[in-house]
A and B are shown apart, each in its own frame.
Chain A
Amino acid sequence: MRKNLLMTLAVSSALAFGVVACGDDDETPSGGGEEQAASNGGGDLSGKIAIDGSSTVAPFAEAAAELFQEENSGVQITVGTSGTGGGFEKFCAGETDISDASRPIDEEEEVPICEEGAVEYTEVQVANDGIAIATNKELAVDCLTTKQLKQIWNKGSKVKSLADVDPSLPDTELSLYGPGTDSGTFDFFTDEINGEEGVSREDYEASEDDNQLVTGVSGDEGGFGYFGFSYYESAADGLNLVGVDSGDGCIKPSAETIQDGSYTPLARPLFMYPSAKAMQRPEVKAFMEFVVAQARAIAEAAKIVPLTDEQTQTAKDELAQAEAGA
């Protein structure tokens, strides 16, 4: 299995490096040579890459780092999880090379700080994030509005069964499952549904391990929980997927509705921001090219929703532009 993945990666990375190399031959002929060396699997690259930022992007960045290092053992990559905001703080101070973000950089607050630190950057979308809301198979509910979700999950909520939010729904006593408070999924969900990041009812079964949440929801008759969409996909048989209605009708999460953003508000793009200065270093450049070329495989390994072909193309263009600029 692992061998297959590596094979696919090796083949497709060779292809991808070819494409990128063509793009920048006009500008920097010497850069092309370095990439060739990298794609040949030679461990010529060395150095350190410091990544920090969103804990939602972290699994993706870690998977990318691991796969990249298999071919380039000389490159050390550290992935921090200071959160999107904390990541940008360090990034704009020039402390990190790449910032992970689960939202675009803030025009009013963060962009000026980066300008002050003379840090230039490129925004590259690397994956999509979606949260699935699921119940036990026995707990039949097709759709909930964002308002009802807030009623269930908000701070101080006393909701015991779905009948409390809609009398037509079953009155099975709920047993609630959700991610731990350190998780990016928790931050995203509480921000979108409860209106403030980190605010939630406390009396639910919290686990940092999404698989444990899936086990709980599929095991309890009143199981009700939220977790990363990929974890739903891999255990779909034991779960009932709940659609979300944010005012424009009920939408169920799927790779498509998450990628095109129609599954609101629980879908969002995930970004990496390499700094222009770091991109001049061959190891950072090679890493970002690897990330974009392998975005799909990395996303699958990290269990998040991959980019569409179109999004991949956009990411490649953005990266090529950044390299041209550098």
Chain B
Amino acid sequence: MGRRTSLVRRPSGRSRFEAAIKAILFGAAVVSILTTLAIVFSLLKETIAFFGDVPVGDYLFGTKWTPQFQGDQQSFGVLPLVWGTLYLTGIGLLVAIPIGILSGMYLAEFAPTRVRKIIKPVLELLAGVPTIVFGYFALTFFTPEVLRNALGLGVNQFNALSAGIILGVLVVPTIATLVEDAMAAVPQSLREGSAGLGANRVQTAIRVVFPAALSGIVAALVLGTSRAIGETVIILIAGGQTANLSLNPTESYQSMAAFIAATARGDIPTGSIEYETIFVVGMTLFVFTLVLNMISIRMVRRYRQVYE
């Protein structure tokens, strides 16, 4: 009797153990889903309250962003903030994409092991530098010493150029590492086949390995873009706080994330309309990143079908 139960129990003990493991894993997944839902909910609440006072059209298409003023000086056009975000991200990507892809390609295809052993940790170190350090580096060194003194540019103390370039530097390790991984994952047989047809290493890297790794490279670029769009501190410190709708990179700009940080830091009364703007802009940023991620998933799928 006792023997039989022990025989029956053994698998049941194991399956209970397995069930527990499953529950823990499920719980871990649920935590992130619940967090996302809670964030959306908290944003939605204030967003709805905000649009009770301000027409959606005025918000989405207005060109003047002065929520902190009173009376007829107050205006809730979010375009300058959206533009500031895209403009700074654009400058950052102009720096980060070429440097990131080229250094990733170099690491995967050309770098001798000894050089790799030095460059990789340095790149990882760069990725580990807190963004506030990058921010002050841009503000107190890059703007005055490099842009003004070395290059002789007449930039403002707070300007898009400096913040954008340093933002790009911040994103380089992200892109470089992912590009390297993507290219290293391309089967060796493709390279050998290419060499067998008489192609040299540069031709092989650019025309065979690069296209084969394209899905991973696109994913790297999208991830880098998301990183740049959401980056707050560098822009807050070095990019200025002027909601600006111009094209001049020497001027001061404000991004959505930097606006949220700057406004939440000031002493605005809870429940006021300025308070609600924090959440509305947060919602806008959230939607932005969501759309970007959806595009990236589609692109990655599409390219994968072609090359695998």
A contacts, CB < 8 Å to B: 55, 58, 81-82, 155, 175, 180-183, 198-200, 202-209, 215-216, 218-221, 223
CA distance A224 to B231 in the complex (A): 29
How many inter-chain contacts with C-beta < 8 Å in the A-B complex?
61
Residue of B nearest to A208 (CB): B266
Binds A, one of B47-55, B63-71, B184-192, B217-225: B63-71
**Is B158 close to A, CB under 8 A?**
yes
Known: A183-B266, A219-B143. 17 other contacts (CB 8 A): A58-B267, A81-B267, A82-B269, A155-B73, A180-B68, A180-B262, A182-B266, A182-B268, A198-B71, A199-B70, A199-B73, A203-B242, A205-B240, A207-B262, A208-B267, A215-B139, A219-B156
Query: Quick check: B144 and A219 within 8 Å, CB to CB?
Result: yes
Task: Find out whether the CB atom of A198 lies under 8 angstroms from the CB atom of B70.
Answer: yes
**Neighbouring A residues of B267 by C-beta, 8 Å:** 55, 58, 81, 182, 208
Out of A58, A205, A223, name the residue touching B242 (CB < 8 Å): A205
The 4 closest A-B pairs by CB, nearest first: A219-B157, A208-B266, A181-B68, A198-B70
Q: What's the least CB distance linking A216 to chain B, in Å?
A: 5
B69 touches which of A81, A198, A207 (Cβ 8 Å): A198
In the assembled complex, which residues on chain A have CB atoms less than 8 Å from the CB atom of B144?
A: 219
Residue contact A207 to B242, C-beta cutoff 8 Å: no
| CB of B89 within 8 Å of the partner chain | no
With an 8 A cutoff between CB atoms, is B103 at the interface? Answer: no
Q: Which residues of B contact A203 (CB under 8 A)?
A: 242
Give the chain B neighbours of A209 by CB distance below 8 A: 265
- Which single member of A182, A183, A205 contacts B158 (CB below 8 Å)? A205
**Chain B positions 267-281 with a Cβ under 8 Å from a chain A Cβ:** 267-269, 274
Chain B 225-266 interface residues, beta-carbon cutoff 8 Å to A:
240-242, 252, 262, 265-266
Identify which of B64, B240, B242, B265 contacts A208 (C-beta below 8 A): B265
Residue contact A175 to B73, C-beta cutoff 8 Å: no
What residue in chain B is nearest A175 (Cβ atoms)? Answer: B156
Asked whether, in the complex, the Cβ of B73 is within 8 Å of the Cβ of A205, the reply is no
* 8 Å CB contact of B252 from A202, A205, A208: A205
